[in-house]
Structure 1
């Protein structure tokens, strides 16, 4: 047979041998590329093929499922599959008594379909999660890969996340971290990255020695490609004080901080800093991190070449500032580098540095503990014209805090701060306006400054009046 249309017609044959060979031919034709899949779709292959997925003959059923699994990667085919509501029949092919090849391509079909929200709901409501979890223990690596990929898509929905816990999926998912196939390990880690957002899942993960598995991956250089995803899971786990204490007691926290500093992979450093930031939102965690001298690690990360790592480190410093002991350390070691970051061309870095500086200088027992000096003033005044409102508001806060020291206040005034703060005072963002007004109030503490403030306000009111009059 030389034409695909003829093979599609043969799918209606009453002979099982003909059906099996036709399905096999369609599988091979569809495997050659997306263009062939589109051709088959136009020839109406999906509906007759769908009927054969449940055929009583094992060979016909297997070949039809193979063809179905390959075709499902095409978006237009997936759309038709949703309309036909094929998920129930495909899920049925995951039964233990079915051939392992059928398991492979039925799970592949579901993995393709689970990308779409409607299909996620259908697979979950029709009981697809339980057989997929069972197939995580399949002897075939392709079946494992397809099953965990489908589960990864399903757990994006909170109902599936809860069901994964109830169906005891965490132990078999942990076993996949020991797979010899990196793609299987990666998909398992991505799945953990989502389900570990739930506290109950983190408890189960900890009880099943999941942290040991994660740290083994982080300690293995050959698993560099997996380090970013592993750190994302660790970051979620560190939110729990019990987990933090366990990691500290086993020496894992020292390893994590050393790993963050020593890694040459920017995304690894960034995710390590994010893990610290996440953990630092809890007061007990902050104490533990301070005991392990996290400040040294974060200050070192501020000096990396990667903007993402710098921003993440600055965010972690902001979170750690709630601990007064940490705030004192950063006041001495971190401020010079944070001030340098205010001149970065990257707006995210600039904003993260401004927030960290604002937190460091706010509610300090004494401003003398901080390492702010004359050299810090010009970069702060420059960012009052930054693109991000958060950068401007926090820079104004730092200037307000600096103004409590008379030498710094006089120096700030001499750098033309009143001219620079005109634009923030006219911002449409109420927070920026508020912080700018507080800065003006803090800086206008003497006769010369008040005169300058009066002239500035007169200018602003004039502009507002003229604008209103012209309208």
Structure 2
């Protein structure tokens, strides 16, 4: 196409230099004589290109000629020769030399730091095609770096680059396209590109069959430019969508196929109406066919397009009907990481809010691959695998099968990730899978509770919210709740509750769930158990916990040496049987009367077991402290079973009463006060003797178990306040 340009594309002839060092040649670059300058430039080019130095009699091999030229600071001298006032021959050899040097990272930095980019951009308009080509090659090498890409835009490089797209020389067109591919990754550059009618020029190339060798690079540039809604709208309005569809529908080389599919993906992501248009043109059928091609890149790009198209509900159903799901699942067994990651992304979008697609993935055996991919090192693949499993696990039969493949153990490692999206999807998946009791036990055995609790420290809102949800679900079992409390879950949540920015309904739910499944800790921290908090065997009262203090487990407390502190009171028997025998007689009365009778009998039993009534004035004579100290000494333990206590005061009696009331179904709460005080609140209906009927609403009473056992004090009365 140009004999002069073609000549320069072949290796230049060896130039004999009468010098033993490159320093002499570099000095010649300062010569005012044109012939010497040309000869010096040719020599430097030879050094840089061949890495050898020829002398008048010997051949000396230089291992690092480029390094030597850097040490001699030759690049500034070459840049000086780029001036538009210089002779074309000087410009040609100077740019030829810099083109060779610009493949080196350090040389690229030197060219940029010495402000070589502006004269190179100016030379893009040179009348000499060799100067133009060399300058363009240097710019292409430079824009591999982000800083240079931005500089090309700021220095006005877009218009001359676009002009070169219509060059008569294919090598220049191709270099211009590749340069545009790099710089259009920047948003501001894309804006200028659009303003300079860049899209129109790209479409001219795509519409020209003579430029078929440029179509692949052109499509890649188009794909880059479709990263914002303005550009997408522009190509849609200009009829570019129709041309893209022609490329998809026509047999083509893999590179053109993959780049065309990239464009379709961008169109779907940034311009939602495009999905409907593509759906009407049955693009799903084409994508299904492309999944069967041999080229890995084409299949990867196609999976990404499937993912993008699946944002459209109708396309999800079409893909399922066309059999795309088994085809994508099959790709999960590929050895290519990029392809597997793209396939999981497609499955994630296909199964989102679509039970039929989730079932199709299950029937194709996709859950087995997805569980294994949770062990992967690619964050994107782990993220999408967790998301897909989460979408599938909403159906109980599928969830059971996922768990049988070891999903809970596989989720442990992703819980330790530093990638936010991995953590978001992993914790969400865990929340769905952990609704199964055996799954929670498996998570505990696999060591997953500690990394889950650690995520409560996260300052990423979505990670924290999902973690709280997972903690709430896992707290359904007392064993897992106790384990998470052992790792400091409650202390972390207490700290969060003091933060205006971090606390939320999610953190509150997590704390409530943990406390409700660990009533011993709840009572120590809050000093209150409601009627729905049912005390069972194994409950213990470790006393009031200080703010931020971790409540130790019963096992930890039992292993401590006997100390002078108040004993830990343990419920370790089944008193309901004894109590039921105590009151085992038939009562044919209304329920509220029966409840009252049971309550009175319960009060009497507690009082009898704990030392009987004690007058207020003689309370100091009631030697309960000595009695408890003797029990601790006899047991050689700080933990004392409540059944052994024969002298108990408010806190001991209220605890026992709560336990007995829970056994027989009396609605009863337990409230801790100060100075070893505690009391029970019960709900009872008042009896209206004049009307011979009960009240419509129950009233709250506290039960006197200490001084006048059986007396009921109405809440918020002076008598109640004095009792507290």
TM range (shorter): 0.7 to 0.9
- Equivalents in 2 of 1:56, 1:312: separation in Å? 56
Query: Is 1:90 aligned to residue 78 of structure 2?
Result: yes
Deviations 1:391-434 (A, max 9, x none): 455445434323434xxx42664x57414436514536546798
CA change 1:65–1:338 in 2 (3 A) is same
- 1:204, distance to aligned residue in structure 2 (A): 2.4
Are the aligned partners of 1:149 and 1:187 in contact in 2 as well (CA < 8 Å)?
Answer: yes
Which aligned pairs between 1:47-86 and structure 2 lie closer than 5 A? 47-73=23-49, 74=51, 76-86=64-74
Give the CA deviation at 1:338: 2.1
CA shift, 1:259, in A, is: 1.0
Question: Contact conserved, 1:93 with 1:102, CA < 8 A, in 2?
Answer: yes
Q: In structure 2, do the counterparts of structure 1 residues 300 and 89 end up closer, same or farther at CA, with 3 Å as the change threshold?
A: same
2:44 & 2:251 partners in 1: Cα distance?
44
Superposition deviation, residue 191 in structure 1: 0.9
* Aligned residue in 2 for 1:161: 149
Are the structure 2 counterparts of residues 241 and 421 from structure 1 closer, same or farther at C-alpha, using a change threshold of 3 Å? closer
Of 330, 350, 355, the residue aligned with 2:345 is 355
For residue 150 of structure 1, report the CA deviation from its aligned partner: 0.8
In the superposition, relative to structure 1, how do residues 179 and 423 fare at CA in structure 2: closer, same or farther (>3 Å)? same
Shift in alpha-carbon separation, 1:161–1:345, aligned structure 2, 3 A: closer
Q: 1:246 aligns with which of 228, 234, 252?
A: 234
Counterpart Cα distance in 1 of 2:446 and 2:117: 63
The Cα of 1:157 is off from its aligned counterpart by 3.8
Asked which structure has the greater CA Rg, the reply is 2
**Is the contact between residue 384 and residue 392 of structure 1 (CA under 8 Å) also seen in structure 2?**
no
Partner of 1:344: 334
Q: Deviations over 1:112-141 (max 9, x none)?
A: 222334333332343322222222122322
Distance 1:260 1:168 in 2: 35
Which residue matches 2:205? 217
- The range that moved more, 156-165 or 346-355, is 156-165
Give the alignment partner of residue 315 of structure 1, picking from 304, 312, 323: 304
Q: Among 161, 166, 178, which residue is 1:178 paired with?
A: 166
The residue aligned with 1:122 is 110
The secondary structure found in structure 2 opposite 1:72 is helix
- Aligned with 1:152 (options 140, 143, 161): 140
| Matching residue within 372, 376, 381 for 2:368 | 381
Q: 1:400 to 1:130 in 2, by over 3 A?
A: closer
TM-score by length of 2: 0.51
Aligned CA-pair RMSD: 3.5
2:394: which partner in 1?
404
Q: Determine the C-alpha separation between the residues in 1 that align with 2:78 and 2:198.
A: 32
Distance 1:281 1:221 in 2: 29
Report the counterpart of residue 135 of structure 1 in structure 2: 123
C-alpha distance 403-103 of structure 1, shift in aligned 2 (>3 A): same
- TM-score if structure 1 supplies the norm length? 0.76
Equivalent position of 1:200 in the other structure: 188
Query: How many positions carry a matched residue from both structures?
Result: 417
Q: Structure 2 vs 1, CA of residues 456 and 169 (structure 1 numbering), >3 Å: closer, same or farther?
A: closer
Match of 1:305 in 2: 294
Report SS of the residue matched to 1:132: helix
Q: Is the 8 A contact 2:326 2:364 kept in 1?
A: no
**Structure with more strand by fraction:** 2
**Higher RCO (C-alpha 8 Å, min separation 6):** 1
Taking structure 1 as reference, are residues 351 and 159 closer, same or farther at Cα in structure 2, changes over 3 Å only? closer
SS in 1 for 2:359: coil
CA contact (8 A) 1:385 1:423 kept: no
Distance, in Å, in 2 between the alignment partners of 1:131 and 1:335 is 54
User: 1:372: how far off?
Assistant: 3.4
CA distance in structure 1 between the partners assigned to 2:361 and 2:310 by the alignment: 23
Q: Note closer, same or farther for the CA distance 1:264–1:121 as it changes in structure 2 (3 Å cut).
A: same
Mapped partners of 1:374, 1:338: distance in 2: 9
1:225-248 residue CA offsets vs partner (Å, 9 max, x unmatched) = 433322221112111222212211
Q: Which residue of 2 aligns with 1:232?
A: 220
* Long gaps (5+) in structure 2: 1-10, 52-62, 451-724
Give yes or no for the alignment of 1:292 onto 2:278.
Answer: yes
Report the alpha carbon displacement of residue 326 of structure 1 after superposing the two structures with TM.
Answer: 4.5
Deviation at 1:317, TM superposition (A): 3.0
Instruction: Report the alpha carbon displacement of residue 318 of structure 1 after superposing the two structures with TM.
Output: 2.7
Partner Cα separation in structure 1 for residue 443 and residue 154 of structure 2: 64
- Please list the CA deviations of residues 258-295 of structure 1 after superposition, one character each: whole Å capped at 9, or x if unmatched: 3134242212222223333344443xx13234323354
Change (3 A) 1:289 1:53: farther
Distance in 2 (alpha carbons) for counterparts of 1:277 and 1:190: 21
Per the TM alignment, residue 72 of structure 1 is displaced from its structure 2 partner at its CA by 2.2
Change (3 A) 1:153 1:416: closer
Preserved CA contact (<8 Å) 2:99 2:135 = yes
Which consecutive unaligned segments of at least 5 residues does structure 1 have?
A: 1-29, 465-471
Q: Which has the higher helix share?
A: 1
2:413, 2:358 → 1: CA distance?
30
What is the SS of the residue equivalent to 2:272? helix
1:106 to 91, 94, 97: 94
Closer, same or farther: CA 419–440 of 1 in aligned 2, 3 Å: farther
Return 182-191 or 335-344, whichever deviates more.
335-344
- Give distance in 1, aligned partners of 2:335 and 2:107: 43
| CA shift in 2, pair 1:69/1:303, >3 Å | same
